[in-house]
Amino acid sequence: MADEPGGSGGRGSPVWAERGATETVTDLFRDHHLELVRLALVMVGNLATAEDVVQDAFERLFRGWPGLHQRASGLAYVRSSVLNGCRSVHRRAAVARRHAPRLAERPDASGPDGASAAADRRDLAAALRRLPRRQREVLVLRYYLDLDVAEIADTLRISPGTVRYTITRGLAGLTRLLRED
């Protein structure tokens, strides 16, 4: 039993807790992937999303391995990470549901300013696509979905200061791109 992941070594801690990140996370993945996908599936109700949540949790465990204070708690960490990932899925879905009616509305393009407004939207969309990914994400979340700085920070998992800085840089870039066109 001492050679199995989760079995006890001579010092009372699991053998896999004393090895490197690659071996440990691989063993945890092999031994617990299915149970964690089932947990996530119950929480989110979609197999593909559940698999993504679990994969992300293991990726975070691997990246954070050097900073893990109690390496024997790797399984608890990844379980907690799966639950947090499921919560994030639900938060994003709630935001999408909240804004879906507004997204489905089509502006009236039949009026005299309709053609001009449509052209402006096309120009703006083209300029947005030319921005760096993070700036584009922050600007769309702020001005299209009307999220506040804290919601954007939670969504993108960045600090509120980074959100504010990225908004400023994105608006400057967008202004420059629109002037060029």
14-34 per-position pLDDT tens digit: 444 456 778 888 888 999 999
In degrees, rounded to 5, the angle at the alpha carbon of residue 133 between the alpha carbons of residues 132 and 137 is 120
pTM score: 0.48
71 neighbors 18 (Cβ within 8 angstroms): yes
Helices assigned H by DSSP within 14-148: 21-44, 47-64, 74-104, 114-130, 133-139
39 neighbors 79 (Cβ within 8 angstroms): yes
Q: State which amino acid sits at residue 100.
A: A
CA distance 91 to 153: 13
For residue 10, the 8-state DSSP code is T
> First CA to last CA across the chain, in angstroms?
69
Q: Tell me: the pLDDT tens digits for 93-147?
A: 888 777 766 655 555 545 556 667 777 888 888 888 899 989 988 888 888 888 8
* Interval 49-78 mean pLDDT: 85
pLDDT at 52: 95
pLDDT at 72: 72
Looking at per-residue confidence, does 118 or 51 come out higher? Answer: 51
pLDDT at 120: 81
Report the mean per-residue pLDDT for the chain.
Answer: 80
